[in-house]
Structure 1
Amino acid sequence: MHTPDRVRQRLEDGTPQSYLKDMVYGGIDGTITTFAVVSGVVGAELAAGIVVILGLANLIADGFSMAVSNFLGTKAEQQFLQKVRVEEELEVKLIPDGEREEIRQIYAAKGFEGELLEQVVDVITSNEQVWIDTMLLEEHGLLLDGPEPKRAAWWTFVAFLLAGIVPVVPFIVNLLVDGGIAAPFLWSSIATAATFFGIGIYKARVVGGNTIKAGIETVTVGGMAAVLAYGVGWLLRGVADGL
């Protein structure tokens, strides 16, 4: 992996994009919001059919909303990067000496000095593309390569649907199968906790870290949301009957 040819190839291919954040974000939010709806309805002691209706409605609508929001947010980051690039291009043309001084001070702060520092400045500023890219990275802290907006949105939506459907499945089975499942909310809770735990483990395996700790952390966050939703539903359980 570290022969000259392999290193050169990796650098030419550019930075591989990861959509882990989009998948984890979508999966966790999908599970939390759908299970919160289920918990609220059950806490309010409403009919099981309402669980399915509200759960599926939330699944589609909120999943689409999250995907669109992720698309627009990721696209906005790209547009901001382009805006700053245009500004730097203009400054390089209008005040090149000032921009050279910025490069000089940036690399002086990294420990370069004397003739070596001047050589670094000369090399970087001899290529306008490299010069501007360096300013974007070092001065503004911007990444030159980012996730593709459509893919980010797609992964968010898919993860939201796949994870978010889990809390509703026991109630769907009860509507479709005679006899159904006894205590569907219990099984929904177990399946949801397992989903949270699985998402945490997947995240930990990709980024490194304690898988058990990551799983428990995710379950805890989701459980808190569910408890809040169930509590609100329980407190308002008589409201629907009075409407």
Structure 2
Amino acid sequence: MAQQPTRNLEHEHQPVRIRERIQAGDGGHLGDAMLGAIDGAITSFAVVAGAVGGGFGSLVIVILGFASLLADGFSMAVSNYLGTKSDAESADRAHREERRHIEEIPQGQREELRQIFADKGFSGETLECMVDAIAGDPDLWAKTVVQEELGLHPGANASPLHAGGATFLAFLIAGLIPLLPFVVPMLSPQVAFGISIGATSIAFLAIGMIKGRVLEQPMLRSGLETLLIGGGAAALAYGVGALLRAWIGAGLA
């Protein structure tokens, strides 16, 4: 049984596969989608729970839910788009600045490069060979300094538009789950809420388990953690809605 994982690992470390992973950059936007799905389910379920706790009917719940779903999803997608775009612009700006420094003060930049690799444990002839090799390519030289000093990655493959799109799509799909039972005309708000709780709990558990699988963490623990976070947010929203309903109702009585 242990041979199959070993064969898979060997396959993933063939030269062609290694090159494909490097050229793919971060491997896509799974992280953006996961974040969007979790936030979408939590946000939508909290709105539903708060509205039910406040005693609103299905029509109001659907209106509030869909308005919140689209507005919050768009806001989160735009924030992710701008954040990804800002990171890319910062990396490229830092890269240009380092290129200018290399042209103006090459010896100082060369010493900077030397100290970067000396801090990693290289010394003597090996260190000097590495510095010579990298300093022979000004573009690589600047990119190396930016990555090592600032943790930025000039020329990264991350697309701000794709990052925002993945977040928005996942937000909408997961956020629809708590709302769909209230669209069914023959269901009372209470029955629809019960179905919504069950469906959303399964969604929370599934999203968390997928996240655990991707991060190579215990899947069940990750699923339960996501379920508890989402359930806690919904319980808080329901309690606030019920409290406000009782308080305002008492004041109007």
**Separation in structure 1 between the aligned mates of residue 197 and residue 237 of structure 2, nearest angstrom:** 13
* 1:69-120 deviation per Cα after TM superposition (whole angstroms, max 9, x unaligned): 1111111111111111111111111111111001111111122111221111
Q: Secondary structure at the match of 1:139?
A: helix
Q: Which residue pairs with 1:31 in the alignment?
A: 41
Over 3 Å counting, the alpha-carbon distance change for 1:188 and 1:101 in structure 2 is same
**Separation in structure 2 between the aligned mates of residue 223 and residue 190 of structure 1, nearest angstrom:** 11
Matched, 1:219 2:227: yes
Question: Unaligned regions of 5+ residues in structure 2, if any?
Answer: 1-10
Q: 1:158 aligns with which of 163, 169, 173?
A: 169
Could you tell me the TM-score, scaled by structure 2's length?
A: 0.87
Over 3 Å counting, the alpha-carbon distance change for 1:182 and 1:222 in structure 2 is closer
Q: Is contact 1:200-1:215 (8 Å) kept?
A: yes
Q: Secondary structure at the match of 1:236?
A: helix
Over 3 Å counting, the alpha-carbon distance change for 1:117 and 1:203 in structure 2 is same
Question: Unaligned regions of 5+ residues in structure 1, if any?
Answer: none
* 1:52-76 deviation per Cα after TM superposition (whole angstroms, max 9, x unaligned): 1101111111111111111111111
Matched, 1:167 2:167: no
The one-letter code of the counterpart of 2:231 is: G
Matched, 1:63 2:73: yes
* 1:22-43 deviation per Cα after TM superposition (whole angstroms, max 9, x unaligned): 1111111111111111111111
Aligned residue-pair number: 238
Tell me how far 1:46 sits from its aligned partner: 1.5
Q: Secondary structure at the match of 2:178?
A: helix
Q: Which residue pairs with 2:5 in the alignment?
A: none
**Separation in structure 1 between the aligned mates of residue 136 and residue 23 of structure 2, nearest angstrom:** 24
Q: 1:118 aligns with which of 128, 131, 136?
A: 128
Over 3 Å counting, the alpha-carbon distance change for 1:165 and 1:11 in structure 2 is closer
Q: Which residue pairs with 2:241 in the alignment?
A: 233
Over 3 Å counting, the alpha-carbon distance change for 1:126 and 1:7 in structure 2 is farther
Q: Which residue pairs with 1:187 in the alignment?
A: 195
- RMSD over aligned CA atoms reads 2.0
Matched, 1:196 2:187: no
Could you tell me the TM-score, scaled by structure 1's length?
A: 0.91
Tell me how far 1:219 sits from its aligned partner: 0.4
Q: Secondary structure at the match of 1:101?
A: helix
Q: Which residue pairs with 1:84 in the alignment?
A: 94
The one-letter code of the counterpart of 1:154 is: G
